[in-house]
A and B are shown apart, each in its own frame.
Chain A
Amino acid sequence: MGAVRAAGFYATLFLLSLFAVFPALWAVITIFKKSADLYNARSNPFLYHPGPTLKHALYLFQHTQFPVFALNSLVIGACVVAITLVLAVPAAYALARLTGHWGERSGMAIFLVYLVPPTLLFIPLYQMVTLLGLANTIWALVLVYPTITVPFCTWLLLGFFKSIPRDLDEAAMIDGCSRFTAFWKVALPQALPGIGACVVFAFSLQLSDYIYAATFVTSTGAMTISFGVPTALIRGDVFFWQSLMAANVVVAIPLTLGYGLLFDKLVMGFQSAEAG
């Protein structure tokens, strides 16, 4: 690369990165602002004038229901991840190896199920969870979130299983393994990176939902992070901005790191799906 091209390359990269992180950057600055400083439109908003404070970050953990929301989201997340793996891993292997040509080619069709907008389904699902007596409990969300995670993870894993050479499980079967043992002992360990990626995505996809959380749950005790945080920290016209931003950043950091680590795996998943 010439010097001019290199400069252009890094400048564009910098601008795109700045666009991506700017709201989070502003959130981080906000957390530690004293209110007098925060609501002063005259001074440089990126600096601390009377100095930073931890008060509002602590408020989030000590005086709001945030710990309850976080616990709910963790419990729901753990259940959803478990259900997703139990359903998606065998399904993806079956499609990649056992159901013939159409199974291997079903990647796009599966992704379409993931794309069915929850906003189209939330009203009948609300009726169904009410009928099942689950409305206003976290179990309504445990039951429904796999509708988002199972198609996505099956699709991702299908790519991973397809990328494992067929010879491997066939060699195992020639050695006397049953088809299921070949799956369990040979293909599954090979697909572990994909399964790891599924754990991260299933967890973050359920965390990201807003409409089901807003529809099925109205009592504070059963709220998740994505619905509870805006509900508890925005009271009418009063916004607890610093504490809100603290919640955003606390949630965003681990998720971003997880996604960052899995970036290449995701590209691989899409490469495999686009190849059909």
Chain B
Amino acid sequence: MADGAAAGNDALVDRPGMLGVLMLAPAVIYIAAFVGIPFVLAILLSFSSATTGNPSIHGFVGLDNFIQVVREPQFVTALVNSVIVTFGTLALLLVLATLESELLARAFRGKRLVQTLLILPWAMPASLAAISWLWLLDSQFSPLDWIFRQAGILGPGGLFGPARHFYYLGRTDLAIASVVVINVWRMLPLATLIVLAGRLSIPRDLFDQAAIDGAGFFRTLFRITVPALMPVLLVAVLFTGLLVFGDMAVVALTTHGGPGHSSQIIPYWAYLKGIESGDLSGGAAVALFMLPALLVVSVLTLRFAYRSQEA
């Protein structure tokens, strides 16, 4: 190392340890201040009686906020919906991301164009994407309904007729299904990127060997590709799962948690309660129900990262 050789002003800064600390400190201090402190405050807040009128953390009320939240009928609906939306999205994502990454692992003409088209959902701001879907799923003017009518699926004499519309966001089951589809649409590019990165890291010899053995597409996929992808599929599930679980823009702008409260989810309820109704501590208590998911994802991800180091 050149440590000994360097002298003068640079000497202190030149020690790798010291320079490392100096370069790392600003980011760490910032994150501690604006992620670490709010994280702790979120917990303290949920035990207090703060409101938007009096936002300081005061009036320790123990578990009262949680008890109140759990007693509300919306609680179970929101928790169940959050879980359904998250797992429904993940199930579809796993299949589609594996498929999409398998296609993108090959060379073909126009690949750059296809990659650009495929990444569009992730590039669009979540709220604007949600509005596009709101219009696409409009109760009266959805072009999907028109296509289904032409195909004889909707309308008089149709499979789901005589109704001329599906009312995607107006019925509980379809509203939740719509939220799942929108989330799959939004997260597929990210999931694909994660899986594709893993796919491209699989040694070529494995595929060459399979080709020599005469294995077909599906045999290769299930015998070689998918087993080798298992760790990255787990990463894709954990990452996109948490992003879907914590997102409120899609529900806030499409179903508004409706019809009624039937498609309510935890993060949007926390927002409505904490900000719209001014019950900061109640909202914080609702949001805290996302903490276990965060912890599970953290532990699994770190264990995975640690184990892959050992291997």
Interface contact A150-B128, CB-CB below 8 Å = no
Interface contact A127-B24, CB-CB below 8 Å = no
Interface contact A259-B308, CB-CB below 8 Å = no
B252 in complex: contacting residue of A103, A112, A210, CB < 8 Å: A210
Interface contact A91-B28, CB-CB below 8 Å = yes
Interface contact B41-A91, CB-CB below 8 Å = no
Interface contact A90-B23, CB-CB below 8 Å = yes
> Which A residues are CB-close (under 8 A) to B124?
24, 208, 248, 251-252, 255-256
CB distance from B14 to the nearest CB of A (A): 5
A24 in complex: contacting residue of B39, B56, B120, CB < 8 Å: B120
> Which A residues are CB-close (under 8 A) to B304?
108
Interface residues on A, range: 35 or more
Interface contact A263-B23, CB-CB below 8 Å = no
B31 in complex: contacting residue of A22, A86, A113, CB < 8 Å: A113
Interface contact A27-B116, CB-CB below 8 Å = no
Interface contact A99-B20, CB-CB below 8 Å = yes
Interface contact A180-B13, CB-CB below 8 Å = yes
> Which A residues are CB-close (under 8 A) to B100?
16
A20-B120 contact given A108-B305, A120-B290, CB 8 Å threshold? yes
A204-B45 contact given A147-B34, A267-B196, CB 8 Å threshold? no
- Closest Cβ neighbor of B282 among chain A residues: A123
A12-58 CB contacts (< 8 Å) to partner B: 12-13, 16-17, 19-24, 26-27, 30, 38-39, 41, 44-46
The answer, yes or no, to whether B129 is at the interface (CB within 8 Å) is: yes
> Which B residues are CB-close (under 8 A) to A17?
114, 117-118
A274-B235 contact given A124-B38, A226-B126, CB 8 Å threshold? yes
CB distance from A7 to the nearest CB of B (A): 13
CB distance from B8 to the nearest CB of A (A): 10
Complex Cα spacing A105 to B129, Å: 35
Complex Cα spacing A115 to B108, Å: 34
B4-41 CB contacts (< 8 Å) to partner A: 5-6, 10, 13-14, 16-17, 19-24, 26-28, 30-31, 34-35, 37-39, 41
CB distance from B133 to the nearest CB of A (A): 6
CB distance from B271 to the nearest CB of A (A): 7
> Which B residues are CB-close (under 8 A) to A87?
26-27, 30
